Amino acid sequence: MPETAIPAPRPDPSVVLWRIGLPFSIFSAVLALILTVSWVFLLPRYTRIEISGTLRNAAQIRAHRAELTSQIATKEEERRQLVLAVHDPQYNVLKEHRRNRVSLEDLRTQLQEHAATITGKTDVVRWNSFEYDPEGKTLHIRGDIHNVETRSMTVLAEFAQSLKTLSFVASATTPAFTREEDPKTGFRSPFDITLTLQ
């Protein structure tokens, strides 16, 4: 007669739990101990990051980030105030100062018109340079008187004296009165005058 396998009796769940209870408890205790040791000693040591020369953990990094974000917002607001300084009183003072300052082009035009009025011609005074210092309120002019034959020194004297009568001139230096002869253009009298503006 053939042998038939007799099924093994099924263990009771309480027996299974009793048999694995001790190893599972030991495993859980060892795992908890390892995790606690790593949380207290290992993680802080290996998860710190150096920022600005200082080692920081995760909480310190979050606090540092919040502080930096606040500083960036403050600096951006300061930059916005500097870039868009329309409401700044100093900006209004600067605008008013610039409006009151005479431009070099205006000074040059007025001097050319004045020279034409004094000499009676537009080609008598030749301008070589204008050096304008708006902060120092000075205008340095160089040029020469020509196309008046031998009268160049006389015309220069009249022109130099008349500069002092202009409304925007506080004082004017007296140029050296010399006459030079150029074979091509004839007699000329160079001048170098510094005007102090009002």
Which pLDDT band, with edges at 50, 70 and 90, does 18 fall under?
confident
Tokens found for residue 42: 């290992």
Contacts made by residues 97-101, CB under 8 angstroms, sequence distance 24+: 101/134
Angle, vertex CA 32, rays to CA 31 and CA 34, nearest 5: 65
For 110, the enclosing helix (H) or strand (E) is: helix 104-119
Please tell me the total number of residues recorded for the chain in this structure.
198
Phi-psi region of 186 (alpha: psi -120 to 50; beta: other; left: phi over 0): left
> pLDDT, tens digit, for every residue of 112-164?
999 999 888 888 999 999 999 988 889 999 999 988 888 889 999 999 999 99
What is residue 183's three-state secondary structure?
coil
pTM over 0.75: no
Query: Domains along the chain?
Result: 16-81 (no CATH), 104-197 (3.30.980.50)
